[in-house]
């Protein structure tokens, strides 16, 4: 079973992501931003991907830790695919982070954009396995 690590302080977004992942047969672990700042980035190895939610007030709350978090983002992305999801529009201050992300998404305050973003992540990370039998032409005699 695929397992995502969701990093966010927004419980509404965390619950919406959990529901969407669960519907797709995925599990997830949710941690807050402060936990990831203090954590060793190698623990992400136990997850199929990392979804980091950049909240509207992220710069105000964590602006002094951006450089420290840049190292974490870089290290996390070497162990597992990292997706950046911006609650609002993309902020150019995160350009160094976007270079390590597999993809980034902008929600721009519309709920359906979150569902679309999570669906896209699931599609990108789920390996397609066809259950159709392989048809091999039979040579005629």
Q: Where are the domains of the chain?
A: 3-125
Mean pLDDT over 19-46 rounds to 85
pLDDT class of 140 with cuts at 50, 70, 90: very low
Within 13 Å of residue 80, how many CA atoms lie on the same side as its CB?
23
Q: Are 109 and 87 in contact (CB under 8 A)?
A: yes
* pLDDT surpassing 80 at residue 134: no
Residue 62 has pLDDT above 90, yes or no: no
pTM of the model: 0.84
Q: Are 27 and 1 in contact (CB under 8 A)?
A: yes
The per-type count for the chain, helices as H runs and strands as E runs, is: 6, 5
Residue 103 gets which letter from DSSP? E
User: CATH assignment of 3-125, given 3.30.565.10, 3.40.50.720, 3.30.160.40, 3.40.50.2300?
Assistant: 3.40.50.2300
pLDDT given at position 128:
45
Average pLDDT value for the chain:
84
Coil, strand or helix at 7 = strand
**pLDDT score for 49:** 94
Pairing relationship of beta strands 103-106 and 82-86 according to DSSP bridges: parallel
pLDDT cut 90: percent of the chain above it? 48
What is the 8-class DSSP label of residue 39?
A: S
Share of the chain above pLDDT 70, in %: 84
Could you report the per-residue pLDDT of 68-101, keeping only the tens digit for each? 888 888 988 988 999 999 988 788 889 999 999 9
**pLDDT for position 39:** 67
């Amino acid at each position: 079973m695929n397992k995502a690590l969701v990093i966010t302080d927004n419980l509404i977004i965390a619950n919406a992501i959990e529901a969407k992942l669960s519907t797709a047969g995925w599990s997830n672990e949710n941690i807050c931003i402060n936990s990831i700042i203090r954590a060793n980035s190698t623990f992400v190895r136990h997850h199929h991907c990392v979804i980091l939610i950049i909240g509207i007030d992220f710069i105000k709350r964590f602006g002094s830790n951006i450089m420290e978090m840049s190292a974490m983002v870089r290290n996390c992305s070497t162990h597992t695919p990292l997706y950046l999801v911006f609650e609002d529009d993309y902020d150019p201050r995160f350009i160094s982070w976007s270079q390590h992300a597999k993809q980034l998404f902008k929600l721009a305050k519309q709920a359906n954009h979150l569902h679309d973003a999570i669906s896209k992540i699931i599609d990108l990370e789920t390996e397609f396995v066809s259950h159709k039998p392989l048809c091999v032409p039979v040579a005629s005699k």
